[in-house]
Amino acid sequence: MVKRKKTKLENLLNLNRYRKRLGAKQIKSELKNVDYEELKSNIIPGEKPEFLHTNMLKDIKEHLAHLKTAFHGEPELLFYHAKLIVLIRREADLKENFEAFKCLWESEHEFLLEHLNMRWLLSAIDTFIDHDPSVTMRSILLNAVVLINTIKLYETERYLLKIDDADETSYDLERQELTRTSYFHLFDELSSFRIGFDDTLRNMRWRLDDVSSYEPLAHKILINVFDRVNERGSVYTRFRARHEKPRNAWWSE
């Protein structure tokens, strides 16, 4: 059985929730009257660590100081974005900080989509899903989360199976030909993907465009995620390299 979320009463009596907010007032005051253009042009000095563990530290100042190292060499606006997410997750002045977060996205979505890595883009999407009042916005963006988490699972399994370095040149030619000419069942009579010719992803992309068109910001975020997985190393990227039928292409050129 899936563990349930805590009730409102259980959260109300959870002292740890209040401890995590200590010091948030001062942080919030530092984020007032920000100049987006100035933050975009200000590069945080220092060298980014190759890998950074960023589990939440209880002290918010210590947590943000540690987190800041992940943005060394990056525009300060990205760290400002991360600080808002930290405050929101700690439920500090939730309404006000979410409004600041949403205002940032409405004003600077092009910059954020260009510069945020997938980790922080996914964190932003989760924040919208958890707090945006629009059911349509939340529903559209949940597609991006399902897509990325599915890729995260099977790519991790590829690592465990020691095939993480395999690419489309590693395919078994006999099996590849089978998937070009016919289908086979994966599980529960789910048909396999016909490499080179299948229109499944093209049709899915059309549906993504159609459903998300009602929320322009959600559409831009969702399609940005979809484009990334087709360009930056996933099964979408590998199958795209083997696609032969231009009319069935599912990606944007």
Query: Out of 1-5, 64-68, 147-151, 222-226, which region has the weakest mean confidence (pLDDT)?
Result: 1-5
Is the separation of the CB atoms in 224 and 121 below 8 Å? yes
Buried/exposed code over 65-75 (b: 16+ C-beta within 10 A; e: otherwise): ebbbebbeebb
Q: Are 88 and 127 in contact (CB under 8 A)?
A: yes
| Ordered DSSP codes for 94-162 | HHHHHHHHHHHHHHHHHHHHHH--HHHHHHHHHHHHHH-S-HHHHHHHHHHHHHHHHHHHHHHHHHHTT
Between 68 and 22, the more confident residue is: 68
pTM passes above 0.75? yes
Exposed (0-12), middle (13-18) or buried (19+): which is 153, by Cβ within 10 Å? Answer: exposed
Terminal CA-to-CA distance of the chain, rounded, Å?
Answer: 44
Q: What are phi and psi of 185, to 5 degrees?
A: -85, 135
CA distance 106 to 102: 6
How many whole angstroms separate alpha carbon 143 and alpha carbon 219? 11
Tokens standing for 168? 């489309």
**pLDDT number for residue 47:** 86
pLDDT at 95: 92
Backbone angles phi, psi at 82, to 5 degrees: -65, -40
Tens digit of each residue's pLDDT (9 = 90 or more) over 70-124? 999 999 999 999 999 999 998 888 999 999 999 999 999 999 999 999 999 999 9
Please name the amino acid found at residue 252: S
pLDDT in tens, 35-58: 999 999 999 998 887 776 666 667
The Cα 82–Cα 101 span in angstroms is 9
- Say if residues 200 and 193 touch (Cβ distance below 8 Å): yes
The single-letter DSSP state of residue 176 is: H
Reported as a single tens digit per residue, the pLDDT across 184-220 is 899 999 999 999 999 999 999 999 999 999 999 999 9
